[in-house]
Structure 1
Amino acid sequence: MEMSLADCWGSAPASPIGFEGYEKRLEITFSDAPVFADPCGRGLRALSRQQIDSFLDLARCTIVSQLLNKQFDSYVLSESSLFVYSHKVVIKTCGTTKLLLSIPRILELAAELSLPLLSAKYSRGTFIFPGAQPAPHRSFSEEVSVLNGFFGGLKSGGNAYVMGDAFRPKKMWHVYYATEEPEQPMVTLEMCMTGLDAGKAAVFFKNSANGGCSSAKEMTKVSGISAIIPEMEICDFDFDPCGYSMNGVCGPAASTIHVTPEEGFSYASYEAMNFNPGSLVYSDLIERVLSCFRPSDFSVAVTIFGGHGFAKSWAGGAEAGSSYVLEDVVEQELPGGGLLMYQSFSAVAPGAVSPRSTLDDGWSSDGMEAAAQGEDTCIWGVEKKVAVKGVAAA
């Protein structure tokens, strides 16, 4: 009898302690199919719902809501999110999902569409409950072994990195990357937050008597999530008795938020990708996200392809005011002309004075000039004023 990869890895029980908020994130990119094979250029967007379900089933998650536009399709999952572009699929799953088991089916479907493999990127933080993770997610070395089996043959070979301060093992960032050729310019921001403020977390419980909300739309508004990037059209979903997910879309840009609000292992994540960083102030974006959750600790990982100089000027710092102190900052060059910048922060104890500045504002000279002149710029085709430092964008 033929045995599948999923059968080989078996299963493991969920954590009896609490829900694992930290997501596993997999991004697989493909090149163009021959014109005669895909005359309409739909690529992966030609996949049927049944075909999409076939690889989500392997990862142990399902679609609960969707929001589509002309550039891509977004799906809120029972455990996080899925984004399908014509040449790229991005899956984030939390809990004890088996994300890497979806890879063979994704590659099979892409081959049926004549889409050549271009690159793969996998990233995650340090699990809160690592012992509850099933194979092949029991360790990063195990994950890398599986990833190399599928992507290690690409021209760059498989490249694995563990970033962060070795003295703070619970704040490490794990990344795997392999590519056949240099990537197109793109920015991805991944933000992880733990120890959410109790009052902020209460919003994501379905109990209005204790500060909770009665619906996902109410959670989106009351928490301030709708104001992070107002141009985004949001598809949100609330879980019973607590928890929240949302996907935002605007042109080719996407954002996503997932919240596990339970005390003792509260967690929230924010991601934005495919946006125009020249029209966003990095520190302003970070502060808007923080204002929704006020975590005790957070980290930011920014991956930029298409220019190291711009990466350092744009993502070189987060203005978190006097509430947070920078604990660690690491830069890692990636094959194909990419740069990954990882920063971790902790809240300053009440009454204490921050021992050091958080970070520089990270503005380029062009960005500062535009802000000084109040110049109009464009975020995904939507007119917006550049924010002056410390002032919300108009």
Structure 2
Amino acid sequence: MASLGFEGFEKRLELVFLLPTCGGERARHGLRLLPVAALREALEAVQCAVVSAAGNASFDAYVLSESSLFVYPSRVILKTCGTTRLLRAVPVLLRAAGELGLGLRSCRYSRGSYLFPEAQPFPHADFDDEVRYLDGAVPSGLHFRRSSVLQPSPQSTHKWHVYSASTSSDGATGHEHVDGATHFTVEVCMTELDRTLARQFYLTPADARSSHAIGDEMTALSGLGGVNPQSLVFGYAFAPCGYSMNALDGARYATVHVTPEDGHSYASYEYAGGGADALASIGRAVAVFRPSVVSASVCYATTAGSQAVDATSVWSAVANALEPLGLACRSQAAEGFPGAVTVTYQTFTA
């Protein structure tokens, strides 16, 4: 817990590995062969734990006590909120992957601006410290490194922090396409949620059902089940309030995390998948919460795909999804990172 309330804004880490070329089980399953003990050690270093797990033919998904973990054969995405020490997982994961014969291909770390920055532990209180920690943690073979703080306007208090390291300056960073379409990773942060809608994510006193059962009911009643209607959704309710869910659809995933308390209410939506629906789904997710303040970041590969994608078209698609909800774009920015990846960032207010 932070000093004034729970820190909803998440830190996000994505590590992409090279699978062995010799074939066999390690080449097919890669990181999904990580021992349970290795995952537990990584999460203990972060100071969180698994509360729910699911999987399909493409990946494994875990709801954590603070956000989510996704494990594919060649990449792992770890997203945590609160005062977790996310980057402490990096050396643990690199060592465990190395024991499977997997070498790191790229690393990307991102986060927004905290609600309670003074409560964050080292190295997370300061982005410069996070960058130094990552520079020392990732292998020296990742020559192409860049860190940047996207602040669309000098007046804006909203900033998007990004660190990227890659073995290549222009090659792909893994999982760039889904069904022939350009892959997008969408991260949406919402604050000042509609109070009535936020109350849906409180437990009813004396409700004896499981956290999974109550979470499934919250998914249905809130409308979150319709954000990505083709997905299999796993919801989880926290006591006395709060909600997390992971949604699985083939190789795609979506995840939502809600901290509904008055004064520091927060919800996040993340989607990783291909096609225009990745951007259109932003509007459906934000409509569930009706926030007064929204920031949206989109990460995508610029080197290939079924159609050309640029920052202007992404900005327009995000604005088209949010403006019908009474939200106006106040600022926008975009920057390129090693591995031919572009990150866009926009802020919206009611």
Match of 1:139 in 2: 126
Q: TM-score, normalised by structure 1?
A: 0.79
Q: Are the counterparts in 1 of residues 105 and 142 from structure 2 also a CA contact under 8 Å?
A: no
Whether 1:249 aligns to 2:217 is no
Aligned residue for 2:201, secondary structure, equals: coil
Match of 1:335 in 2: 338
Q: Percent identity?
A: 38
* CA-CA distance at 1:290 after TM superposition: 1.4
Of 307-316 and 251-260, more deviation after overlay is shown by 307-316
* CA-CA distance at 1:315 after TM superposition: 1.7
Q: 1:36 to 1:76 in 2, by over 3 A?
A: same
Distance 1:103 1:17 in 2: 29
Question: What aligned pairs does 1:344-355 form with structure 2 within 5 A after superposition?
Answer: 344-347=347-350
Q: 1:299 to 1:118 in 2, by over 3 A?
A: same
Q: 1:63 to 1:143 in 2, by over 3 A?
A: same
Larger CA Rg, structure 1 vs 2: 1
Match of 1:356 in 2: none
Of 32, 39, 56, 1:52 maps to 39
Gaps (5+ residues) in structure 1? Answer: 1-13, 348-394
* CA-CA distance at 1:336 after TM superposition: 1.5
Whether 1:126 aligns to 2:129 is no
Aligned residue for 1:316, secondary structure, equals: helix
- Residues 76-121 of structure 1 show CA distances to partners (whole Å, capped at 9, x for unaligned) of 0000000000010100000000000111110000110110110000
Q: Are the counterparts in 1 of residues 104 and 139 from structure 2 also a CA contact under 8 Å?
A: no
Distance 2:38 2:128 in 1: 30
Aligned residue for 1:255, secondary structure, equals: strand
Q: TM-score, normalised by structure 2?
A: 0.89
Q: 1:326 to 1:166 in 2, by over 3 A?
A: closer
- Residues 35-79 of structure 1 show CA distances to partners (whole Å, capped at 9, x for unaligned) of 267455211000122221111110000000011000000000000
Match of 1:206 in 2: 203
* CA-CA distance at 1:243 after TM superposition: 0.1
Aligned residue for 1:43, secondary structure, equals: helix
Aligned residue for 1:295, secondary structure, equals: coil
Question: What aligned pairs does 1:287-326 form with structure 2 within 5 A after superposition?
Answer: 287-307=283-303, 309-312=308-311, 314-317=313-316, 318-319=319-320, 320-321=323-324, 323-326=326-329
Q: Are the counterparts in 2 of residues 37 and 113 from structure 1 also a CA contact under 8 Å?
A: no
Of 185, 188, 194, 1:188 maps to 185
Q: Are the counterparts in 2 of residues 38 and 113 from structure 1 also a CA contact under 8 Å?
A: no
Of 18, 23, 27, 2:5 maps to 18
Equivalent AA in structure 2 for residue 110 of structure 1:
A
Q: Are the counterparts in 2 of residues 154 and 178 from structure 1 also a CA contact under 8 Å?
A: no
Match of 1:379 in 2: none
Distance 1:267 1:325 in 2: 19
Q: Are the counterparts in 2 of residues 37 and 114 from structure 1 also a CA contact under 8 Å?
A: no
Q: 1:123 to 1:330 in 2, by over 3 A?
A: same
Gaps (5+ residues) in structure 2? Answer: 177-182
Q: 1:281 to 1:240 in 2, by over 3 A?
A: closer
Question: What aligned pairs does 1:1-394 form with structure 2 within 5 A after superposition?
Answer: 14-35=1-22, 38=25, 41-151=28-138, 153-181=140-168, 182-183=171-172, 184=174, 185=176, 186-207=183-204, 215-273=214-272, 275-278=273-276, 280=277, 282=279, 284-307=280-303, 309-312=308-311, 314-317=313-316, 318-319=319-320, 320-321=323-324, 323-347=326-350
Equivalent AA in structure 1 for residue 190 of structure 2:
M
- Residues 327-352 of structure 1 show CA distances to partners (whole Å, capped at 9, x for unaligned) of 111010111211111111011xxxxx
- Residues 271-305 of structure 1 show CA distances to partners (whole Å, capped at 9, x for unaligned) of 011x1214x273x3222111100001001100001
Larger relative CO (CA 8 A, sep 6+): 1 or 2? Answer: 2
* CA-CA distance at 1:153 after TM superposition: 2.7
Q: Are the counterparts in 1 of residues 8 and 266 from structure 2 also a CA contact under 8 Å?
A: yes
Aligned residue for 1:291, secondary structure, equals: helix
Q: How many residues are paired up?
A: 328
Distance 2:325 2:200 in 1: 25
Cα root mean square deviation, aligned: 2.0
Distance 1:281 1:242 in 2: 28
* CA-CA distance at 1:247 after TM superposition: 0.3
Q: 1:104 to 1:291 in 2, by over 3 A?
A: same
Q: 1:257 to 1:168 in 2, by over 3 A?
A: farther
Distance 2:89 2:10 in 1: 15
Q: 1:126 to 1:100 in 2, by over 3 A?
A: same
Distance 2:344 2:248 in 1: 24
Aligned residue for 2:315, secondary structure, equals: coil
Equivalent AA in structure 2 for residue 171 of structure 1:
H
Match of 1:392 in 2: none
